């Protein structure tokens, strides 16, 4: 399977009308690096990345769940908690927590993998198994892999003076029936990071955490009256806003990887991708 990471940006399950320069390259390269850094503990679909925007791997049948794991009370979990809920995806959350507090231990809060552009929905482990979405035996593997990946991701983040707050993993089965990790991992689109420096001080003062994730895009959309709800209009992204978002993604890339981002030549990107992909596929013959 040849997967091309485009520069499209989505939020609240809606694709924004304008693309973000170099976003696809950044996400693809982060995901490739993270796959290589975790392949010793969890098998994955990846074979090669012959182009900055391309990954090639084994064709898999995806499980129709996203394995979301949370180490801290942030984002969607916090919004549910703030509204008085103490149970998310069948998992209890302790009383007395504040936004961005650390959970006693990470919790897995799966969501259904929606088709046809529908919103993903929270679902419990019990319902996943009862509805036959994933078998009990396979789900045990997904849980085990999710916890191992989150532990490794936490270790990688700590080396960059970051906290891996929450993330999601997707899995599939190869034609041989082997469960493997698929899709992007530990990217700012699939994960939330905080800076270690100042985390506890901000919590003690009740201040917002400085974070590395796509959340800054979501917050901008919310401030401009958009959360993907019916009847809401996507606010205009000016060229200045597009440039700001692109620069922010580069900042995320460099902090998460510890490497300087090198912009690929995009003057004739389709020809570049085709040339690199064909050359790789020819090398397999």
Q: What is the pLDDT of residues 214-228, one digit of tens each?
A: 778 888 888 899 988
**Is a pLDDT exceeding 60 seen at residue 117?**
no
Q: What is the pLDDT of residue 217?
A: 85
- Residue range(s) defining the domain that contains residue 89: 2-283
154 contact partners, CB below 8 Å, separation of at least 6: 71, 163, 164
**29-50 burial, b for 16+ CB within 10 Å, e for fewer?**
bbbbbbbeebeeebbbbbeebb
Q: What is the mean pLDDT of residues 80-94?
A: 96
Q: Helices 23-38 and 239-257, interaxial angle, to 10°?
A: 20
Model pTM?
0.89
Q: How many domains does the chain have?
A: 1
Q: Per mean pLDDT, which range of 22-26, 73-77, 110-114, 222-226 is the poorest?
A: 110-114
| Alpha-carbon span 186 to 208, nearest angstrom | 22
70 — pLDDT class (breaks 50, 70, 90): very high
Q: Which two tokens stand for residue 12?
A: 């609240």
Q: What is the pLDDT of residues 200-213, one digit of tens each?
A: 999 999 999 987 77
If you average pLDDT over every residue of the chain, what do you get? 93
**Is a pLDDT exceeding 60 seen at residue 116?**
no
245 — pLDDT class (breaks 50, 70, 90): confident
Q: Per mean pLDDT, which range of 17-26, 86-95, 143-152 is the poorest?
A: 17-26
Q: What is the pLDDT of residue 119?
A: 61
Which CATH number characterizes residue 38's domain?
Answer: 3.30.470.20
**Is a pLDDT exceeding 60 seen at residue 7?**
yes
Q: What is the mean pLDDT of residues 68-96?
A: 96
**Is a pLDDT exceeding 80 seen at residue 50?**
yes
Paired sense of beta strands 162-173 and 61-62, if any: antiparallel
Give backbone dihedrals phi and psi of 138, rounded to 5 degrees, phi first: -65, -35
| Alpha-carbon span 196 to 32, nearest angstrom | 24
| Alpha-carbon span 62 to 181, nearest angstrom | 9
| Alpha-carbon span 275 to 53, nearest angstrom | 12
More confident residue, 59 or 15: 59
Contact in structure between 212 and 256 (CB atoms under 8 Å): yes
Strand ranges inside 63-157, DSSP E:
65-72, 87-88, 91-92, 102-108, 111-112
How many other C-beta atoms lie within 10 A of the C-beta of residue 258? 13
CA 72, 73, 76, 81: dihedral to nearest 10 degrees? 160
Q: What is the mean pLDDT of residues 52-77?
A: 96
Contact in structure between 106 and 150 (CB atoms under 8 Å): yes
Beta bridge partners of 162: 195
Q: What is the pLDDT of residue 212?
A: 76
């Amino acid at each position: 399977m040849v997967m091309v990471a485009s520069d499209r940006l989505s939020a609240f399950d809606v694709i924004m009308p304008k693309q973000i320069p170099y976003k696809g390259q950044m996400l693809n390269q982060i995901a490739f690096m993270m796959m290589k850094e975790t392949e010793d503990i969890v098998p994955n679909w990846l074979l090669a990345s012959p182009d900055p925007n391309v990954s090639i791997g084994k064709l898999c049948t995806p499980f129709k769940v996203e394995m979301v794991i949370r180490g801290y009370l942030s984002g969607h979990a916090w919004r549910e908690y703030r509204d008085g809920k103490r149970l998310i995806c069948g998992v209890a959350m302790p009383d007395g927590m504040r936004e961005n507090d650390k959970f006693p231990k990470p919790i897995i809060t799966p969501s259904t993998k929606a088709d046809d552009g529908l919103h993903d929905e929270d679902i419990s482990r019990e319902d996943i198994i009862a509805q036959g979405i994933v078998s009990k035996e396979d789900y045990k593997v997904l849980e085990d892999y999710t916890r191992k990946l989150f532990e490794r991701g936490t270790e990688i983040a700590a080396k960059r003076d970051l906290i891996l707050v929450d993330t999601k993993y997707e899995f599939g089965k190869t034609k041989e029936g082997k469960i493997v990790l698929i899709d992007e991992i530990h990217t700012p689109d699939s994960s939330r990071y905080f800076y270690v420096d100042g985390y506890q001080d901000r919590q003690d003062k009740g201040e917002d955490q400085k974070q590395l994730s796509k959340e800054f895009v979501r917050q901008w959309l919310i401030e401009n009256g958009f959360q993907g709800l019916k009847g809401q209009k996507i606010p205009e992204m000016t060229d200045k806003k597009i440039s700001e978002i692109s620069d922010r993604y580069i900042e995320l890339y460099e902090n998460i990887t510890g490497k300087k981002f090198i912009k690929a030549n995009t003057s004739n990107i389709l020809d570049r991708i085709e040339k690199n992909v064909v050359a790789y596929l020819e090398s397999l013959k």
